[in-house]
Structure 1
Amino acid sequence: MPANHPDAPMSATEEEHRRELFDAMKPVQLMLGSWRGTTQKEVGDFKGLDHSSWVWDLKTDRHQPAMVTLSDASPYIRSGRLTYLPDRKIFQLTAVDPDGVARTLEGTYSQQPETFTGEDRQPHTKYKLELTQVDPPNQRDQWQLVFNQQENNRYLLEVAKKRGARFLRMDTVATQREGTSFAKSDEGYGQKECVISGGLGTIQLSHKGKSYWVCCTGCKAAFEEDPETWIAAYEKKKAK
């Protein structure tokens, strides 16, 4: 089987690439799940509403896993693919807006991830991930997005456009997690580590009589398709 075949075994270098990717994206995995957002500025006569969800995509390019999002109402990101490029030490987001325009944005943390105790006395994480469009057709249409994670269940999507030498904020989408609390860690977190991403496991699966955890439906689908490969990589990681 050719080395570049999608089902070909991964080399040690490729495995290290993927592990570095997952490690870098652990804080960003807080965005996994379903969210409800409200724009700051009015869209027509009302505030804009956004219902979005984030999951891991491990199938489109298994050598370059990414978190993907879909929204049928977002005024800014109808679909997006967020990943980390270990060789360049940066994050990359490919986003498609409501007009079907695809934009590639790259960057890193403008505020490093920090863990703090929230009002619920649970550990929460905050950070700012700043991404700037690298392929604008012109400066007036160059975007900058900041994912401003405020706590585990709330983040701001800050949207800016280039005006002269500066980026000026044009809107902020206040985004709240739908459903129940999603703590970054809790009692027994070590036993709930996602066998694929290393994040907090929220879905329990079974294989050959043993139980494993995954963090989202994307990891669940990948595990069920090829459990032996993911378990072997997970056991190898734990043995180090």
Structure 2
Amino acid sequence: NYLQVMLAGYYGDLNPKLEPRIQRCIIRVTDLRNQIGDVVDLARMRPEQIQADFTWFDLSEIGTQAIEDVRLASAEKNIKVLVEAPPVFEPLVGAPRRMRQVFSNLLNNAIRYSPSGSTIIFKAWFEPESVFLSVEDQGPGIPEEDLPHIFKDFFRASNVEGAPGMGLGLSIAQKIMEAHEGQILVENVVDDSTEGKVKGTRFIVIIPRNLKTPEMRQTTWLEQG
């Protein structure tokens, strides 16, 4: 926070040469904080705790917050986040803070493994029973033999061993979605014009539209009782 206050100029004009260095410091500190938070989450996260926080929320607002979470990281690599979404979202039930964590984790992953100057597509669409969101990057893809293990705790794909990270972001995201009775799917994006060469990775988040807040569940229980 102190670095962000400096970057905003609240302590006076900032030397232009220092600005990119402070931005990099903020990104590194944020990465470290997220890694510590991931370890704590892994130890403490329980489905019933997440479900206790279910409330009505605005999906577009959560998506906007997640994009802001990764703004500096994407700017450092000159990566553009392209949003494709309906103009209006219906309210959903879920744990807003945890859903933001899912989207931020997926966007951070996409930025981390994408080449500089590339584009990430953050897309949302509605189906009768679920809401779908996808994050598609232009990175190296995930080796086919690693795909079945990608959501395991501490797992790192074999082609990104030198990249930063602890292998917890996707595992935590999946646990959050399981608490929402939803799913995260992953697939490599293939370029048909180059004989099936992988041109990126796509993660798809599926959120049921029939989830209930604790108050709604209690009302249902009383009516059935």
**TM-score if structure 1 supplies the norm length?**
0.25
**TM-score if structure 2 supplies the norm length?**
0.26
Higher percent of residues as strand: 1
Higher percent of residues as helix: 2
